[in-house]
Structure formats: C-alpha cells, structure tokens
Amino acid sequence: TPQTPMNGRDLLKTTGVATAGLLAGSVTAQTKQKKGGDPFRYCLNMSTIRGQELSVNEEVDVAGKAGYDAIEPWLGKLNDYKNNGGSLKDLRKRIEDHGLTVESAIGFARWIVDDDGQRAKGFEDARRDMDLLAQLGAKRIAAPPAGARGAVDPMAAAKRYRKLLEIGDEIGVVPQIEMWGGNPSIGRVSTAIYIAIEAGHSSACFLGDVYHRYKGGSDFAGLKMLGPQALQHFHWNDYPADPPLDKIGDQHRVFPGDGIAPIVDIARGFLQVGATPVLSLELFNREYWAMDALEAARIGLGKMKASVAPAL
C-alpha cells in the first residue's frame, strides 16, 4: 500500500485530471452497455495457448477461427518474429483479415526499478516494444513491476509511470499499470491505482486480473470505485479452492466459471460503474496446453461468455 497516503481533498487537488478519469464518480463513467446484447469484447491472451508452441501467424489464426474479437500477444514472441524476418505489415493484415484488433500486449520492460542504468534500458525497451505494437495497430501495453525485487516507493513509481505514459503519447500506445499479486512493489489493486492517480496523466489506466487480485489479497468490491478510464482491459480467468492461497500459482488458473472467483459479481460491478473492459483470457494451465489449440481457445471463449451472461 502507499507509504505516504494523502487525504482525499489533497489527492483531488494535485491530480484532479487523472483522478476524475480513474474513479467511478467521474462524469465519463456512463454505461457503454449495448441494449439487448453483450457489451463486452473478448480477447485471447496468447499465454492460454503458449504450450502448443504455435507460430505467431498460427496464434492469430486460432483466435480468428475461434471467434474472438481481439488478441493480446506477448512481446517476446513478436520481437522474435520481427528479428527473424517476419513482416509486421503482413502480420497486421492477417490480424485485420480475421476481424481482430490488438487490444493489449504483454511486455516486461524494467521501467519501475530503482537502478538508474536498468531503468534507462527499461524505457528504451518499452519504446521499442510500443513502436512495434503501433505498427500492428495495437492500443495498449502492459506495464507490470518487472525486475523490481524489493519495494519501490510509490511516488517514485508514479513519476516513472508518467514518463512511460509520455513515451506512449509519442507513439500512440497506452501503457497500463499492472499489479502482480504479492509483488513487493505493486502487489495490490490499491497500490496500482495510487500510482496511476499520482502519475497525473489523463491516459493512466489499470490492467486488472482476476487471479492476481486474489493472490494479492485485494477485495473485488474495490473495483467498484473505478470507472471506464481505469477499466479498459482486464485479464479474465478463475482459480480453484485448492491449492490454498499461499501455494497457488499462475499454472493453477482455470477457465472462467470453473473456479471459486465471484465472476458474475465482478462483471456486474463493471457495468454498475459504466465500464465494459475488454476481457482477455489469460491462462497458464498445462492441461489446456495439452489440448488442441483451437479447441482450447473455443472452450475458453464459450466459458468467458457464459461467465458474464448472468450479469447482463
């Protein structure tokens, strides 16, 4: 949690623009729900089919054939594709031909670390990654606390996040502050939102995750304090009752609705504050990696839609 929390009046005074956009009380927090239909868009995070070891083109084909609206690729694989002579122009056309968009991407630039040299390289890596994504028409990129081995002062993190956002302004891709449950720097929703608000930038937003919220110990009710600006993209998954919290890991994530997460309540909470984030299926389950990739993707999409249906 923040080390030097401010009272609400001072916080609004110093970061009014960002706060107004992030919190649910904002005038921008008006429902985007479509009458008589499902207002959410569904995205395939490529971690879900990573174990099948497909090519970048094959991953795009799976997402398109399975019926997703969007994809969330990993920068490591995209950089390998580019460095091995792959055409970003051709890849973008393939994505668009399937009717897909690149709503976000997963990168691990070390923008948050205290070491000046590592951080400078982290910003260079982030710029390179965002430039690649812009060529694919991508909208956002994850900004997790990669490389932070200990606690980072949240005010320092806010200044660094603002710099990352300013780089994104130049390129046209928005970095999303991401929490990793249990991380010493950004391990709770409240810390991520504090950093986003204190960055004082109108594009600041939050990349949430059902599993990471559980692992970090933040209550889902807190998401109802946020609005459409903060909640643009959300990792959609579930977790079982066993293993217990102190032993559960990324590999234990399951399809939405197959675990104990209050999925319907989360979806209802989004709608109550006028937010319809893109829901991205992010799993690392080895059982799913053993399946045919298209079958796993199709089952996942069906589970996603079924998990939010009671909230509509």
Whether residue 262 has pLDDT greater than 70: yes
281 strand-pairing partners: 44, 236
- Contacts for 113-122 with beta carbons within 8 Å, 24 or more apart? 113/147, 113/148, 113/152, 114/152, 114/156, 118/147, 119/160, 122/146, 122/147
Identify residue 208 by its one-letter amino acid code. Answer: G
Alpha-carbon distance of 42 to 5, in angstroms, equals: 36
Model pLDDT, residue 25: 52
Quick one: average pLDDT of 11-25? Answer: 54
What is the residue whose two structure tokens read 């008589």?
36
> How many CB atoms sit inside 10 A of residue 250's CB?
17
Structure tokens at 141: 């990129």
At 29, the pLDDT band (50, 70, 90 cuts) reads very low
pLDDT band at 22 (very low <50, low <70, confident <90, very high): confident
Q: Which amino acid is at 20?
A: A
pLDDT at position 211 is 98
pLDDT digits (tens, 9 = 90+) for 132-162: 999 999 999 999 999 998 999 999 999 999 9
Of the listed ranges 20-34, 48-62, 65-79, 289-303, the least confidently predicted one is 20-34
Contact 247, 286 (CB under 8 A): no
Average per-residue pLDDT for the chain: 91
At 175, list the tokens: 């970095």
pLDDT band at 10 (very low <50, low <70, confident <90, very high): very low
Q: Does the CA dihedral 160-111-124-201 come out positive or negative?
A: negative
Flag whether the pTM goes above 0.85.
yes
**Can you tell me whether residue 281 is helix, strand or coil?**
strand
